[in-house]
Structure 1
Amino acid sequence: MADTDMQEPVYKTDALIAQDIDAYLETHQHKTMLRFITCGSVDDGKSTLIGRLLYDSKMIFEDQLAALEADSKRVGTQGQDIDFALLVDGLAAEREQGITIDVAYRFFSTEKRKFIVADTPGHEQYTRNMVTGASTADLAVILIDARKGVLTQTKRHSYLAHLIGIRNIVLAVNKMDLVDYSQAAFDKIVADYREFAHSIGIENFVAMPISGFRGDNITALSDNTPWYRAPEYFGRTLVDHLETVEVDATRDIAKPFRMPVQWVNRPNLDFRGFSGLIAGGRVKPGDPVRVLPSGRTSTIRRIVTMDGDLEEAVAGQSVTLCLADEIDCSRGNVIAVSGNPPQVADQFEATVVWMADDELIPGRAYWLKLGTQMVQATVQAPKYVVNVNTMEHLAAKTLDLNAIGVCELTTDKPIVFEPYTDNRTLGGFILIDRISNATVAAGMLHFSLRRSQNVHWQALDISRKERADLKNQKPAVLWFTGLSGSGKSTIANLVEKRLYRMNRQTFLLDGDNVRHGLNKDLGFTEADRIENIRRVGEVARLMTDAGLIVITAFISPFRAERELVRSMMEEGEFIEVFIDTPLSVAEERDVKGLYAKARSGDLKNFTGIDSPYEMPVNPEIRIDTTQMAPEEAADLIVNMLLGDIM
């Protein structure tokens, strides 16, 4: 070729390069976002599929690829094949076991759309992690191993995805290479899944045969499945579907305006705003709004952001709202459109997915977190639990790990809510153990119970302070706790006698005495013990409202219930008195012969023998009865009581 035939290379100027970069960033910025999850039974190939998507979308750096190839050889992958699961299974335990334990979030992008994918665990033990990943997803890819078919965990994950509100379902029959790309095997799995899906309300889903390991039908239609191109099949790749599936991004914007208040923004005396993420609808300056649960009304004065004031804000945006009026509003309140506000109630029916190894204790108080609201809640025994294999409603007294049940629950104060089907933010909640702070359940509110709307607090003209002033004392609860035979009742009786001689108005609630009347219907199971203490706590609270000094003597073996009673009282009114007596000493006393019966097996659920006692961590008063006589202990308690409250 002559030199004159050679073309001069064309070099772009810095300005042209900058224009290309700006054009790319502009295009990338306006891509839609799809959040989806991969789920199914253990070892169905979820991590491998995501790794393949990251690899094929060129979202892996060269050093990552080199490390991936080295790791693949180290864990035993043959030849040049790459173990794509290693891109996602980041925990050492996952790599060793070949399973996903935690939820792994990954970002990738194609020419048409951006994606955030959550690789959720398949092992039954980690179903709670799958619920976490599904809570923000728009689409679920349900993977099935072509060799195994539809399994129990496949059904559980499908049911949970549908329950949480995911309406876009992809049934990805994976590992087709291991069944020789059999059309018959694929058709049977799809038929089995369709029968189950219809039973739980999934009317439509997209089925496709894939191999995450070999890449069949992931980014390009595979020659190994020519039958998949027939009209009766979907006939598209997984990436094609993910890029084009319609996600109704405007569904929340079309709803009535709601914004849970996350933070009261008060940088100086001249500015007061309420910050949060808009959970539904749209809002503009001048719009009338209502603050719940108080019901106070105002109008929007400004919508403030870091980039300046807005003329309008919509669902999904984080903003600070300034109101035209100085009304009480704090974290946990909800600012809503005035003419169509959400509901306020304290008793509900809900679906509860239990996530803890320890089973639900009906009647025990848990923290309930809904949006930015945090209240105490008690859950009743389930109305029924759902068998995910048959969709039967089965009777149950409690919920254990991974159980899905419909229950009634009660909160200690009214909360702002909407049914989960209307608003995920104001209808979805978690339950938190009050002692360990571990999340034990996730739930979806259905509706408020009618009785919660029929019962209202009656305002009284005489206040608790006026009642106490009339008695010339401050109300208090002396809560004696300890093993049976520790001396609680003896010391509590001596304390009341001393206070009586000092003209203090008191009442003594004894554990045995209340079981003759108020709590005669309760036994000694863990649930009954919890209900026993809850009722006594309510009675004690009413007595402090009357201005009395209340003395209680109950074993009250569980910290959670003692803390529940503490939370019912005014600050500083609950005084925990731990009668600290070793079990051996309590058994020696055994004036009622209860320990002997428990040791022989004639008395079940006896504290200290076959039922636990959780000692107080930081009681206000601790009495060691091996070092102090009852009379001396009573004097000490009275002196400390009067010194604290008088």
Structure 2
Amino acid sequence: MNAINEQWQAAPETSVLRLITAGSVDDGKSTLIGRLLYDSKGVFADQLQAIAGSKYTRAPDSEFDLALLTDGLEAEREQGITIDVAYRYFATPARKFIVADAPGHEQYTRNMVTGASTADAAVILIDASRASDGRLLPQTKRHSTLARLLGLRHIVVAVNKMDLIGWDRAVFERIHAAYRDLAERLDIPAFHIVPLSALTGDNVVRPSERTPWYQGPPLLSLLESLPVDSLDTEDQARFFVQWVIRHNGSGPDAFRGYAGQLRGGAWRVGDAVQVLPSRESARIAALLRGAQPVDQALPGDSITVVLDRDIDLSRGDVLVDAQAQPALERDFEADLCWLDQQALNPARLYWLKQGTRLTQVRVQAVRTRRDIHELRSVDWNGTLAMNDIGRVQLRARDPLVLDDYDAQRATGAFILIDTATNQTAAAGLVRR
């Protein structure tokens, strides 16, 4: 522990990697995260005592059931499955991690979408004992499809339970070939693959002597080395107004600022901006981080913007660079991941929430639906049911600032909300 503390003290500011584990039921996702936490010294003694004394433990008396570190709901422990997304945090001297453990059941695919929407990387588990013939399970294909649609920059395939097949290299190679074919069909540009056992810890944190034929790093070392990119690939700034801050009314020292989070490019005091949808222009008179004035704001900063002139500007409006020309439209296409138990009803209106913008929208047509088994989109003129993914045509009541999701997540992503139940009905990705 002293060596670890010395490393922490000597290490510079560390980056944060957000990752999600996905895969089919019983592939060992919760156990893998528990192993990462346990072997990286990210578990407190009282947590170990709690899971050791749990009535739901399925481990031998001398071992811990590491899956219980993430499966915290009573129903999860009782059934031995993951139902909701569980977030865990741990760190090494090289990096900090935020890990989302997603359910494997098809019924809870929508929970995987929630966890993956803010992730940088996906660890997709495959049970080597169930895929020994090289045939991948439907949930492996579905979660890989979602990871590609949501633009996750890194995909790591963890071939788990290698201990159950005697660390057979031939089985690993068959699974590798099957996933390579899947990646080509989904247009996944690259992926990493690691043979491991979450139960025994082989190739999770430390290299395993049981895989002399595997020349790559263990899983944790691989995750430490993945580059962390900005969520926004464009240099153009996008700033949704979250809150209008007013002080001192209309007095001579009156203050009016616009609070929100900057996405995309950087801003400096004096930069020219425009307001959408009104297309009014102004210059930045001041930038505040909390109550502290700053000269510059970077992507991801939560700031207050003060403009050099009064403009009709309220929650949901968007500030962009003066030279930017994002689309401002009511009609657009998007990929929808349907999340609600009630199927899509084209005759109904839904609330659309994009950033802090809220407006009504109607789904005018369903163009295609993605066939998970065939891994392609097929023409479709029906509805979308829970867990379906389809390309749709929408019409909004008000003009929206729209960017393609792959170019700018801030203005390329939205959710649909059922106006009657207030349930989240779908996650949407703008396609231009």
TM-score, normalised via structure 1 length: 0.63
Q: Is 1:264–2:249 an aligned residue pair? A: no
Q: Is 1:244–2:238 an aligned residue pair? A: no
Alignment equivalent of 2:203, drawn from 203, 207, 217: 217
Q: Is 1:437–2:422 an aligned residue pair? A: yes
Query: 2:78, 2:4 → 1: CA distance?
Result: 42
Q: Is 1:44–2:27 an aligned residue pair? A: yes
Structure 2 matches for 1:536-555, cutoff 5 A?
Answer: none
In 2 relative to 1, CA 130–106 (structure 1 residues): closer, same or farther, beyond 3 Å? same
Query: 2:84, 2:58 → 1: CA distance?
Result: 23
Q: Is 1:147–2:129 an aligned residue pair? A: yes
Q: Is 1:168–2:154 an aligned residue pair? A: yes
User: Residue 31 of structure 1 contacts residue 114 of structure 1 at CA under 8 Å; is this kept in 2?
Assistant: yes
SS of alignment partner, residue 227 of structure 1:
coil
User: Residue 253 of structure 1 contacts residue 281 of structure 1 at CA under 8 Å; is this kept in 2?
Assistant: no
Could you say which residue in structure 1 is the equivalent of 2:76? 94
Alignment equivalent of 1:33, drawn from 16, 19, 26: 16
SS of alignment partner, residue 176 of structure 2:
helix
User: Residue 430 of structure 1 contacts residue 441 of structure 1 at CA under 8 Å; is this kept in 2?
Assistant: yes
How far did residue 393 of structure 1 move? 2.6
Residue type at the aligned position of 2:206: A
1:547-575 CA distance string (max 9 Å, x none): xxxxxxxxxxxxxxxxxxxxxxxxxxxxx
Larger proportion of strand:
2
Alignment equivalent of 2:267, drawn from 270, 283, 308: 283
In 2 relative to 1, CA 253–192 (structure 1 residues): closer, same or farther, beyond 3 Å? closer
SS of alignment partner, residue 436 of structure 1:
coil
Could you say which residue in structure 1 is the equivalent of 2:67? 85
User: Residue 181 of structure 1 contacts residue 225 of structure 1 at CA under 8 Å; is this kept in 2?
Assistant: yes
1:372-405 CA distance string (max 9 Å, x none): 1101000123111010121233324100111110
Between 1 and 2, higher relative CO (CA 8 Å, sep ≥ 6) is seen in: 2
Could you say which residue in structure 1 is the equivalent of 2:182? 196
Q: Is 1:350–2:334 an aligned residue pair? A: yes
Alignment equivalent of 1:158, drawn from 144, 165, 179: 144
User: Residue 236 of structure 2 contacts residue 265 of structure 2 at CA under 8 Å; is this kept in 1?
Assistant: yes
Could you say which residue in structure 2 is the equivalent of 1:301? 285
Residue type at the aligned position of 1:50: I
In 2 relative to 1, CA 22–83 (structure 1 residues): closer, same or farther, beyond 3 Å? closer
SS of alignment partner, residue 155 of structure 1:
helix
Could you say which residue in structure 2 is the equivalent of 1:329? 313
Q: Is 1:338–2:318 an aligned residue pair? A: no
SS of alignment partner, residue 185 of structure 1:
helix
Q: Is 1:381–2:362 an aligned residue pair? A: no
In 2 relative to 1, CA 431–312 (structure 1 residues): closer, same or farther, beyond 3 Å? same
1:137-190 CA distance string (max 9 Å, x none): 111000001112211111000000110000211000001111111111111111
Query: 1:112, 1:283 → 2: CA distance?
Result: 30
SS of alignment partner, residue 229 of structure 2:
coil
Q: Is 1:426–2:411 an aligned residue pair? A: yes
User: Residue 48 of structure 2 contacts residue 64 of structure 2 at CA under 8 Å; is this kept in 1?
Assistant: no
Larger radius of gyration: 1
How far did residue 253 of structure 1 move? 7.5
How far did residue 311 of structure 1 move? 0.9
Residue type at the aligned position of 2:190: N
User: Residue 290 of structure 1 contacts residue 341 of structure 1 at CA under 8 Å; is this kept in 2?
Assistant: no
In 2 relative to 1, CA 436–167 (structure 1 residues): closer, same or farther, beyond 3 Å? same
How far did residue 24 of structure 1 move? 7.8
User: Residue 39 of structure 1 contacts residue 141 of structure 1 at CA under 8 Å; is this kept in 2?
Assistant: yes
Query: 2:269, 2:10 → 1: CA distance?
Result: 31
Alignment equivalent of 1:70, drawn from 53, 56, 74: 53
Query: 1:288, 1:310 → 2: CA distance?
Result: 17
How far did residue 246 of structure 1 move? 1.2
Structure 2 matches for 1:225-236, cutoff 5 A?
Answer: 225-229=211-215, 235-236=216-217
Q: Percent identity?
A: 48
In 2 relative to 1, CA 29–67 (structure 1 residues): closer, same or farther, beyond 3 Å? farther
How far did residue 203 of structure 1 move? 2.2
Residue type at the aligned position of 1:94: E
Structure 2 matches for 1:223-622, cutoff 5 A?
Answer: 223-229=209-215, 235-249=216-230, 252=232, 255-269=235-249, 270-306=254-290, 308-394=292-378, 395-447=380-432
How far did residue 225 of structure 1 move? 1.4
How far did residue 23 of structure 1 move? 8.6
* Runs of 4+ deviating beyond 6 Å: 20-26
Query: 1:304, 1:317 → 2: CA distance?
Result: 10
Task: Give the root-mean-square deviation of aligned CA atoms.
Answer: 1.9
Query: 1:51, 1:103 → 2: CA distance?
Result: 14
Larger proportion of helix:
1
Residue type at the aligned position of 2:44: F
User: Residue 253 of structure 1 contacts residue 315 of structure 1 at CA under 8 Å; is this kept in 2?
Assistant: no
How far did residue 100 of structure 1 move? 0.8
Residue type at the aligned position of 2:90: F
User: Residue 253 of structure 1 contacts residue 282 of structure 1 at CA under 8 Å; is this kept in 2?
Assistant: no
How far did residue 363 of structure 1 move? 2.9
Q: Any stretches of 5+ residues in structure 1 without a counterpart?
A: 1-19, 230-234, 448-646
Query: 1:302, 1:227 → 2: CA distance?
Result: 59
What is the count of residue pairs matched by the alignment? 421
Residue type at the aligned position of 1:175: K
Q: Is 1:53–2:36 an aligned residue pair? A: yes
Alignment equivalent of 2:97, drawn from 88, 97, 115: 115
User: Residue 274 of structure 2 contacts residue 320 of structure 2 at CA under 8 Å; is this kept in 1?
Assistant: yes
Could you say which residue in structure 2 is the equivalent of 1:530? none
User: Residue 232 of structure 2 contacts residue 409 of structure 2 at CA under 8 Å; is this kept in 1?
Assistant: no
1:465-519 CA distance string (max 9 Å, x none): xxxxxxxxxxxxxxxxxxxxxxxxxxxxxxxxxxxxxxxxxxxxxxxxxxxxxxx
SS of alignment partner, residue 18 of structure 2:
strand
